[in-house]
């Protein structure tokens, strides 16, 4: 054995997939997992660089692990921050033995010139079976869009879709009950190869696992055919990346749509699938955001009644279109608007959840006492508390017996029937 490793993953589900694959290469290289970073011979931090807060967290965690590691252990920083800032980050972080961009082997020596080593194709590396009954499956890398605030295309590159065969093989290898399909721009899967194939992909994966869930759908790509395909999976969950609802501000963000069109789409889906669950993300404080823009967002949130919502303060990103825009919204006003929107949404989420008490659904038990129905994506939405004796990985029909904020409690229908 070459030693023990610890991989610390920050950021989004796509980074989680990269970490899983990184672990696969380390095991193949003769390393074994450590129980803690302090026990490891090789500590790897898979960083996020999407926004300022994420970068700050990446540096803080790296410094923490630098302090926690044992004598002689190597510390490697990889992921988006390593790719985006490279040598600049290496100079700023002397604690790190290596700052390795995407696909640079984390076992590389400090002195070995990164430019001369073959990069690993993280996207298509094999993955070990999942330790959980669900797993993220990254179907493409990069993005071909140019949203005003987003730097991802600058360091993740243009969209690169995987072959359907490699995705299906990975789903089989993961041995899961739920596959969560992810990409920067999921609905565009295959477009870069000249053959848009998201609907075919959903069908192929749905034929292999009981549950298929989709994250990161760009609203203009939510075609009738895609809605049909999602409906056919039985997982009536729509994660729509809307970002705002004001038409003039969305244009300023270089994005499609407006609140009225989004609402019409959501209501159309609800007419077909009354129990459908919706999630979205919104940015508050984009340059030039007016009181009228913000009111439009609040009105949309109130009207749309989304189950789940991520709300983020605008982060100025070097190299993006928005970084050059005038009319910065003062930080105090951004914080005020964010709090207002969050308060409104928290109330909506809690009432959506409370309305489920007394209803029945099927849940996947993720771990002892914790389960999810089709309405909850892993890690980002609430969960359903269930009796500890339910086996992880099993699907169980339950009755919802209580709600507390985003989380629910439930008991197996069999238990209800027996009372």
User: Where do contacts with ligand SF4 occur on this chain (CB under 6 A)?
Assistant: 143, 145, 147, 150, 152-153, 184-185, 218
- Closest to ligand SF4 by CB, 144 vs 346, is 144
User: Shortest approach of ligand SF4 to residue 189 CB, angstroms?
Assistant: 13
- Closest to ligand SF4 by CB, 302 vs 323, is 323
Q: What is the spatial order of strands in the sheet that 134-138 belongs to?
A: 134-138, 178-182, 211-214
User: Shortest approach of ligand SF4 to residue 50 CB, angstroms?
Assistant: 9
| Beta partners for residue 134, in sequence order | 178
- Closest to ligand SF4 by CB, 143 vs 276, is 143
Q: DSSP states of 141-181 as a string?
A: ES-----TT--HHHHH-S-EEPPHHHHHHHHHHHT-SEEEE
What's the rounded Cα separation, in Å, for the pair 271 and 274? Answer: 6
Residues in the chain: 419
- Closest to ligand SF4 by CB, 122 vs 143, is 143
User: Shortest approach of ligand SF4 to residue 218 CB, angstroms?
Assistant: 6
Q: CA angle, 225 as apex, 219 and 226 as ends, to 5°? A: 45
- Closest to ligand SF4 by CB, 66 vs 152, is 152
Nearest to 19 by CA among 135, 184, 159: 135
Query: Do residues 48 and 57 touch, judged by C-beta distance below 8 A?
Result: yes
Work out the number of other CB atoms within 10 angstroms of the CB of residue 182. Answer: 21
User: Shortest approach of ligand SF4 to residue 153 CB, angstroms?
Assistant: 5
List, in sequence order, every beta strand (DSSP E) within 10-130: 31-33, 42-47, 74-79, 98-100
Query: Do residues 102 and 122 touch, judged by C-beta distance below 8 A?
Result: yes
- Closest to ligand SF4 by CB, 184 vs 246, is 184
- Closest to ligand SF4 by CB, 209 vs 250, is 250
- For the four alpha carbons of 234, 236, 241 and 242, in that order, the dihedral sign comes to positive
User: Shortest approach of ligand SF4 to residue 145 CB, angstroms?
Assistant: 4
* Half-sphere exposure for 413 (CA within 13 Å, toward CB): 9
- In the DSSP assignment, the letter for residue 366 is E
List, in sequence order, every beta strand (DSSP E) within 211-258: 211-214, 237-243
Burial of 21 (0-12, 13-18, 19+ CB in 10 A): buried
Distance of CA 311 to CAs 15, 147, 241, 301, 340, Å?
20, 17, 11, 11, 11
- Closest to ligand SF4 by CB, 8 vs 185, is 185
User: Shortest approach of ligand SF4 to residue 317 CB, angstroms?
Assistant: 10
User: Shortest approach of ligand SF4 to residue 65 CB, angstroms?
Assistant: 28
Q: CA angle, 83 as apex, 283 and 242 as ends, to 5°? A: 20
Burial of 25 (0-12, 13-18, 19+ CB in 10 A): middle
User: Shortest approach of ligand SF4 to residue 387 CB, angstroms?
Assistant: 40
Work out the number of other CB atoms within 10 angstroms of the CB of residue 411. Answer: 18
Helices (H) and strands (E) in the chain, counts: 12, 18
- Closest to ligand SF4 by CB, 49 vs 143, is 143
What's the rounded Cα separation, in Å, for the pair 125 and 167? Answer: 11
- Closest to ligand SF4 by CB, 143 vs 410, is 143
User: Shortest approach of ligand SF4 to residue 348 CB, angstroms?
Assistant: 24
User: Shortest approach of ligand SF4 to residue 263 CB, angstroms?
Assistant: 21
User: Shortest approach of ligand SF4 to residue 151 CB, angstroms?
Assistant: 8
- Closest to ligand SF4 by CB, 153 vs 285, is 153
């Amino acid at each position: 054995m070459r030693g023990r490793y610890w991989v610390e993953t920050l950021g989004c589900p796509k980074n989680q997939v990269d970490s899983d694959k990184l672990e696969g290469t380390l095991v193949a290289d003769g390393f074994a997992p450590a129980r803690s970073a302090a026990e490891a011979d090789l500590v790897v931090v898979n960083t996020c660089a999407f926004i300022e807060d994420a970068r700050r967290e990446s540096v803080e965690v790296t410094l923490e692990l630098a302090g926690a590691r044992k004598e002689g252990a190597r510390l490697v920083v990889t992921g988006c921050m390593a790719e985006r800032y490279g040598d600049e980050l290496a100079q700023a972080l002397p604690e790190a033995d290596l700052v390795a961009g995407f696909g640079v082997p984390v076992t590389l020596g400090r002195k070995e010139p990164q430019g001369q080593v073959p990069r690993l194709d993280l996207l298509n590396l094999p993955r070990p079976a999942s330790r959980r009954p669900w797993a993220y499956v990254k179907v493409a890398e990069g993005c071909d869009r140019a949203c005003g605030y987003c730097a991802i295309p600058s360091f993740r590159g243009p969209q690169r879709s995987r072959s359907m065969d490699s995705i299906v093989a990975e789903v089989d290898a993961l041995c899961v009950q739920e596959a969560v399909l992810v990409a920067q721009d999921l609905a565009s899967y295959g477009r870069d190869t000249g053959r848009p194939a998201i609907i075919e992909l959903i069908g192929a994966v749905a034929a292999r696992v009981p549950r298929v869930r989709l994250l990161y759908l760009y609203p203009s790509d939510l075609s009738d055919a895609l809605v049909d395909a999602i409906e056919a999976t039985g997982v009536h969950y729509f994660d729509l990346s809307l970002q705002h609802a004001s038409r003039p501000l969305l244009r300023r963000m270089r994005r499609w749509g407006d609140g009225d069109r989004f609402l019409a789409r959501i209501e159309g889906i609800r007419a077909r699938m009354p129990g459908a669950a919706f999630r979205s993300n919104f940015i508050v404080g984009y340059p030039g955001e007016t009181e009228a823009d913000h009111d439009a967002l609040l009105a949309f949130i109130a009207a749309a009644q989304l189950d789940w919502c991520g709300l983020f303060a605008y982060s100025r990103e070097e190299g993006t279109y928005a970084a050059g825009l005038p009319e910065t919204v003062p930080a105090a006003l951004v914080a005020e608007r964010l709090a207002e929107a969050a308060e409104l949404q928290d109330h909506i989420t809690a009432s959506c959840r409370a309305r489920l008490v007394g209803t029945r659904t099927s849940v996947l038990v993720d771990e002892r006492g914790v389960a999810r129905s089709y309405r909850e994506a892993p890690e980002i939405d609430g969960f359903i508390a269930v009796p500890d004796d339910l086996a992880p990985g099993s699907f169980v029909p339950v009755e919802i017996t209580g709600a507390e904020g985003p989380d629910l409690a439930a008991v197996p229908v069999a238990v209800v029937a027996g009372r």
